[in-house]
Structure 1
Amino acid sequence: MNGLHLIADIYRCKCPPDMLLDRAVLEDICVRGCADAGLTPLGAYFYQFTHDDGQQAGVTGTVVLAESHLAIHTWPETGDVTLDVYVCNFSRDNSDRARAVFNRIIGLLEPEESVCHDVIRGRIPAEV
């Protein structure tokens, strides 16, 4: 289960509004971003929230990867997003691939501010 978990709280995004409001647009960005980074998408589920009047609201979504997952949640009212990318490093080190998709999506969102954390998951091998 050794791996890398990248976590971001992203604030006041200046990206085109459809990135935060449109399920299909955000899903395409996330799935394509994972594949372009060398990760293996196995499936995706993205949900479009709507306001009472039927207008698009936020989106929540996950991309299940052979290497683990990407999860994203948007709050277009404030321009905020949370993003998680977790990769297992069991059969190969996927850390650079995870960082590539993580940084690409954050760059596309054009935030005024982001708070990011790298969490090393699993057991760290003992030094010999």
Structure 2
Amino acid sequence: MNGLHLIADLYDCQCTPAVLEDRAVLERLCVDECRDAGLTPLGAYFYQFMHDDGQKAGVTGTVVLAESHLAIHTWPESGDVTLDVYVCNFSRDNSDRARQVFQRVLDTLKPRDSACHEVLRGKIPAEA
């Protein structure tokens, strides 16, 4: 279960509006970035929220990876996003792959402000 969990709260994203409010666009971005980083997408579920007037609102989605997951939630009205990328490091160290996905998604979203955290998960061996 040892792994790396990258967590971000992103504010005032300056990306193309479709990235925050179109399920298909956001899903393609997340799945493609996972695959391009050398991770293994097993499936994805992204949900499109709608305003009462029928206009697209935010999106929530998850890419299930053989190595764990990516989860993302958008609020286009404010340009805010939460992003989690968690990878297990059981059979290989996937930390650099996780960081690549995380950074590429951030580069696409272009937040004006962010709070990002790295959490090492599992039993971390003591250094000699």
Quickly name the TM-score band, shorter chain normalised: over 0.9
Deviations 1:44-74 (A, max 9, x none): 0000000011100000000000000000000
Residue in 1 aligned with 2:96? 96
Name the residue aligned to 2:27.
27
Aligned length: 128
Asked if 1:56 is matched to 2:56, the reply is yes
After superposition, where does 1:1-128 map in structure 2 within 5 Å? Answer: 1-128=1-128
Partner Cα separation in structure 1 for residue 125 and residue 112 of structure 2 = 38
Q: Which runs of 5+ in 2 are unaligned?
A: none
After TM superposition, give the deviation of residue 125 of structure 1 in Å. 1.5
Structure 1 consecutive aligned stretches of length 4 or more whose deviation exceeds 3 Å = none
Q: Which runs of 5+ in 1 are unaligned?
A: none
For the residue of structure 1 that corresponds to 2:54, the secondary structure is coil
Report the AA paired with residue 104 of structure 1. R
Letter in 2 for 1:11: Y
Give the share of equivalent positions with the same residue, in percent: 77
C-alpha RMSD over aligned residues:
0.7
